[in-house]
């Protein structure tokens, strides 16, 4: 029998094809990626070693099945592997991802973060914007308050050292991340990166705060954090997907304290009643901080959110103690400026 002509030979398989195949071989043969497979596959994506059609298929297959803790951890570790850590970066106390944006209420969590920064807690906040219409995002809110975002890793380190707070746009972590986030308009689906980036904790903060849209993701984030070697993580359903506690509802927090898994329910801070309307003007946040306006719902949101961080940092041994301390910090804040 004649041998096939060289031009008729089957093309060699692309190195990334194996990862698409693992996820897409059907209901009986497909499986989740291991942490090492996810880490390697993500690294190939970040090095532009993947064809666009492969990336689209890969992301959709991950999304439709729901990411496992191993996949989230592997992707998050690959992002960390790609980072350039500033040499003079001071130790970070709290990693605070902000990737959702707010649609119905102002981003009050920003004042909670700045309140903590004013008490000596170093906050590294990172996020993105523009992926969903009709939302108010963190970078534009901070700009309205006169708090600039970092424009480089070195500037982020300098802001942390000077003010105990910095906000780093996602492109500072890895420019490829913005490109993948932008695929939502083409694929019609949120990328798995919407889940993964919350676990990155890029600069090894002592504690990490993670918000979820859907309650079942609390355990996914917690278990991924454990696989990554984190020891203090709080995962809860935040308002609008941001790290922001609703003060009028119970808040179930899953996570790690000193490396040990925990789950506890925080009782509402408000007994009920309508929240006061304040619109979506970021200027209201500045007025609230200065004390020229009062809003019990907003203040309870700030106190309740800050309390979760204080508990994770070990500054309070109980939920009640954390809330009392957060309330004290709010009462003693410097009203003349947002950052030190």
Cα–Cα distance, 107 to 219 (Å, whole number): 25
For residue 1, what pLDDT band results from cuts at 50, 70 and 90?
Answer: low
Q: What are phi and psi of 77, to 5 degrees?
A: -65, -35
Domains of the chain: 13-81 (1.20.970.10), 94-332 (3.40.1030.10)
Segment 246-255 shows an average pLDDT of 96
> 165-197, pLDDT tens digit by residue?
999 999 888 889 988 988 888 888 788 898 999
Residue written as token pair 């009028």: 248
Higher local confidence (pLDDT), 73 or 184: 73
Please tell me the number of Cα atoms within 13 Å of 292 on its side-chain side: 7
Is a pLDDT exceeding 60 seen at residue 207? yes
Is a pLDDT exceeding 60 seen at residue 7? no
pLDDT given for residue 3 in this prediction: 56
Angle at which helices 283-290 and 109-118 pack, to 10 degrees? 40
For residue 209, what pLDDT band results from cuts at 50, 70 and 90?
Answer: very high
Is a pLDDT exceeding 60 seen at residue 5? no
What is the percent of the chain with per-residue pLDDT over 70, rounded to a whole number?
96
pLDDT given for residue 6 in this prediction: 53
Q: What is the 3-state secondary structure (H, E, C) of the chain?
A: CCCCCHHHCCCCCCCCHHHHHHHHCCCCCCCCCCHHHHHHHHHHHHCCCCCHHHHHHHHHHHHHHCCCHHHHHHHHHHHHHCCCCCCCCCCCCEEEEECCCECCCCCCHHHHHHHHHHCCCCEEEEECCCCCCCCECHHHHHHHCCCCCCCCHHHHHHHHHHHCEEEEEHHHHCHHHHHHHCCHHHHCCCCCHHHHHHHCCCCCCCEEEEEECCCCHHHHHHHHHHHCCCCCEEEEECHHHCCCCCCCCCEEEEEEECCEEEEEEECCCCCCCCCCCCCCCCHHHHHHHHCCCCCHHHHHHHHHHHHHHHHHCCCCCCHHHHHHHHHHHHHHCCCCCCCC
Segment 212-216 shows an average pLDDT of 88
For residue 157, what pLDDT band results from cuts at 50, 70 and 90?
Answer: very high
Residue written as token pair 């596959």: 41
pLDDT given for residue 94 in this prediction: 98
pLDDT given for residue 191 in this prediction: 83
Are 280 and 86 in contact by the 8 Å Cβ rule? The answer is no
Is a pLDDT exceeding 80 seen at residue 299? yes
The mean predicted confidence, pLDDT, of the chain is 92
Please tell me the number of Cα atoms within 13 Å of 282 on its side-chain side: 19
Are 109 and 99 in contact by the 8 Å Cβ rule? The answer is no
pLDDT given for residue 238 in this prediction: 94
Query: What is the maximal distance between C-alpha atoms in the chain?
Result: 90
User: 32-55 burial, b for 16+ CB within 10 Å, e for fewer?
Assistant: bbebebbbbbbbbbbeeebeeebb
Segment 36-65 shows an average pLDDT of 95
Is a pLDDT exceeding 70 seen at residue 87? yes
What is the percent of the chain with per-residue pLDDT over 90, rounded to a whole number?
79
Q: What tokens were used for 291? A: 């004390």
Segment 275-304 shows an average pLDDT of 91
Segment 116-141 shows an average pLDDT of 92
pLDDT given for residue 189 in this prediction: 79
Higher local confidence (pLDDT), 97 or 183: 97
- How far from chain centre, in Å, is Cα 287? 27
pTM: 0.93
């Amino acid at each position: 029998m004649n041998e096939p002509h060289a031009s008729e030979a089957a093309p060699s398989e692309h190195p990334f094809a194996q990862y698409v195949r693992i996820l897409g071989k059907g209901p009986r043969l497909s499986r989740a990626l291991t942490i090492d497979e996810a880490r390697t596959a993500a690294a190939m994506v970040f090095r532009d070693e993947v064809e666009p059609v492969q990336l689209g298929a890969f992301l959709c297959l991950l999304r439709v099945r729901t990411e496992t803790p191993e996949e989230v951890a592997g992707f998050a570790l690959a992002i960390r592997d790609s980072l350039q850590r500033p040499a003079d970066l001071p130790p970070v106390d709290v990693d605070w991802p902000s990737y959702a944006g707010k649609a119905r209420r102002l981003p009050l969590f920003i004042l909670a973060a700045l309140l903590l920064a004013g008490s000596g807690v170093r906050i590294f906040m990172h996020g993105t914007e523009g992926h969903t219409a009709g939302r108010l995002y963190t970078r534009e809110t901070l700009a309205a308050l006169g708090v600039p975002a970092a424009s480089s890793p070195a500037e982020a380190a300098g802001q942390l050292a000077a003010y105990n707070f910095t906000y780093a746009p996602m492109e500072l972590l890895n420019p490829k991340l913005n490109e993948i986030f932008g695929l939502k308009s083409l694929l019609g689906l949120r990328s798995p990166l919407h889940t993964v980036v919350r676990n990155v904790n890029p600069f090894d903060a002592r504690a990490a705060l993670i918000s979820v849209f859907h309650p079942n993701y609390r355990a996914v984030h917690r278990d991924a954090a454990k696989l990554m070697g984190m020891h203090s993580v709080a995962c809860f359903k935040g308002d609008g997907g941001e790290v922001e506690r609703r003060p009028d509802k119970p808040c179930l927090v899953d996570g790690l304290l000193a490396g040990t898994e925990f789950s506890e329910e925080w009782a509402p801070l408000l007994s009920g009643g309508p929240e006061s309307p304040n619109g979506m003007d970021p200027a209201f946040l500045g007025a609230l901080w200065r004390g020229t306006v009062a809003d019990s719902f907003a203040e309870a949101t700030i106190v309740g959110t800050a309390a979760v961080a204080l508990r994770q940092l070990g500054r309070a041994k109980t939920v009640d103690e954390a809330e009392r301390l957060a309330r004290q910090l709010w009462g003693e804040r410097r009203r003349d400026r947002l950052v030190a």
